[in-house]
Amino acid sequence: MTDTPRDADHWAKPVSKLHVEDVPAGARNLVEGKRLLGPVQGFGKMWQKTYRVALHGSDASPTEVVRDWKEHFPEFWPEGNQFYAPLTGIEPGEVALIKASIAGGLKLSTGVMVMYADDESFTLMTPQGHVFAGWITFSAFEEGDATVAQAQVLMRAQDPLSELGLSLGGHKQEDRFWERTLANLAAHFGVEGQVSTQVTCVDRRRQWAKAGNIRHSAALRSSMAALRPRRSSR
């Protein structure tokens, strides 16, 4: 086949290791040299989580919703979490750094790569060290008389520690995060939306062969980094 596939411009090219050209002020680059991990490479149970909000009363089309979502992506995140968007925006192959609040008041430094982006959806993929291995797709579509915005996560916890953390409240924290994000997106379009959450366990098996992912754990590294100043102050 010599024809260029219609989706050719929407996908990132394969990368062996991540590289961040410019580290924004305030961000920590813990993804440099890390590999991307899909759901297949994770440790824990595989989950598909779908968060939706119908934008009743807004005349924004799916394309307009996704355009604004891309342009203002960090602004929709709940307070206390930072998404350092690439200077060129949400484009295939771009890497964004993240500083997220996790349990115990700790900040987790990690990142994502834009795996896929078109006019009606975009997908972020996680690197080694992230809490989960997988991807999250943001999309919009018409359903009935409304445009629906959706975030859908397909993931496994990357390592046993993350699996434990997710089962001890991490999943609920993640649910609240994306529910708040979608509510903020809806508010951007002037809608007080009711966010629905659907959680499906796709695979109950844990992949013990992937337990070694823990050596890359950003949660561990962020925790250790947080402890260092206390030691030096004694």
Partner 1 sequence: MTQGTLSMEVRHVGPASVVDIAGDITAASEDVLMDAYGRAATEATRAVVLNFSGLEYMNSGGIGLLVTLLVRANRAKQKLLAYGLNEHYRQIFELTRLDEAIGIHDSEAEALAAAA
Binding site for partner 1 (CB under 8 A): 1, 4-8, 10-15, 36-41, 46, 48, 115-116, 118, 121, 123, 125, 135, 137, 139, 152, 154, 202-203
Comparing CB distances to partner 1, the nearer of 27 and 112 is 112
- In the complex, the smallest distance separating the C-beta of residue 76 from partner 1, rounded to whole angstroms, is 20
- In the complex, the smallest distance separating the C-beta of residue 51 from partner 1, rounded to whole angstroms, is 15
Comparing CB distances to partner 1, the nearer of 39 and 170 is 39
- In the complex, the smallest distance separating the C-beta of residue 112 from partner 1, rounded to whole angstroms, is 13
Helix (H) or strand (E) holding 200: strand 195-203
* Kind of pairing between the strands at 132-143 and 195-203: unpaired
Contact between 64 and 72 (Cβ < 8 Å): no
Comparing CB distances to partner 1, the nearer of 153 and 183 is 153
Comparing CB distances to partner 1, the nearer of 11 and 77 is 11
- In the complex, the smallest distance separating the C-beta of residue 184 from partner 1, rounded to whole angstroms, is 23
- In the complex, the smallest distance separating the C-beta of residue 148 from partner 1, rounded to whole angstroms, is 13
DSSP per position, 43-109: -S-EEEEEEEEE-TT----HHHHHHHHHHTGGGGSPTT-EEE--TT-S-TT-EEEEEEE-GGG-EEE
Cα(110)–Cα(120) distance, rounded to whole angstroms? 26
Instruction: Give me the residue label for tokens 């009606």.
Output: 120
- In the complex, the smallest distance separating the C-beta of residue 134 from partner 1, rounded to whole angstroms, is 9
What does the block give as tokens for 190? 């002037």
Comparing CB distances to partner 1, the nearer of 154 and 195 is 154
Comparing CB distances to partner 1, the nearer of 24 and 92 is 92
Helix (H) or strand (E) holding 223: helix 218-232
DSSP per position, 17-36: S---SSPPTT-----TTPPE
